[in-house]
């Protein structure tokens, strides 16, 4: 992974942490977010125009993930809409 991609990946995880306010992930460090949300619960596909996150059939914190995702989508709409 080149440094440029790592930079954007880290920024994405920081945005996820900000969107996680009010959940158990609100004060989580970036490595924990990476382990719990991205590696353990979802498959992430990145294209030129979108990021697709596919959840596993069983995810113990699916409700928190939905809440975080909706907050990220609404903030992206404000920035780019």
- Of 5 and 68, the one with more pLDDT: 68
3-state DSSP percent of the chain in helix, strand and coil, to 5 = 55, 10, 30
- Looking at the predicted structure, is the pLDDT value of residue 64 above 60? yes
Residue 13 and residue 32 in contact, taking contact as beta carbons nearer than 8 Å: no
pLDDT for the residue 81: 47
pTM score of the predicted model: 0.61
**Ordered alpha helix ranges (H), 20-61:** 30-33
Cα of 30 vs its chain's centroid, Å: 11
**Phi, psi (deg, nearest 5) at residue 52:** -105, 125
- 4 pLDDT more than 60: no
69: containing domain: 3-80
Looking at the 3D structure of the chain, how many domains does it have? 1
What is the tens place of the pLDDT at every residue in 14-62?
A: 788 888 888 888 888 878 877 776 666 667 778 877 777 777 777 777 7
């Amino acid at each position: 992974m080149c440094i440029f991609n790592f930079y954007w990946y880290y920024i994405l995880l920081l945005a996820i942490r900000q969107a996680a306010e009010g959940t158990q992930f609100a004060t989580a460090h970036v490595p924990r977010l990476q382990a719990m949300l991205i590696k353990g619960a979802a498959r992430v596909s990145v294209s030129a125009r979108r990021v697709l996150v596919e959840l596993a059939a069983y995810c113990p914190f699916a409700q928190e993930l939905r809440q975080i995702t909706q907050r990220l989508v609404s903030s992206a709409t404000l920035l780019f809409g």
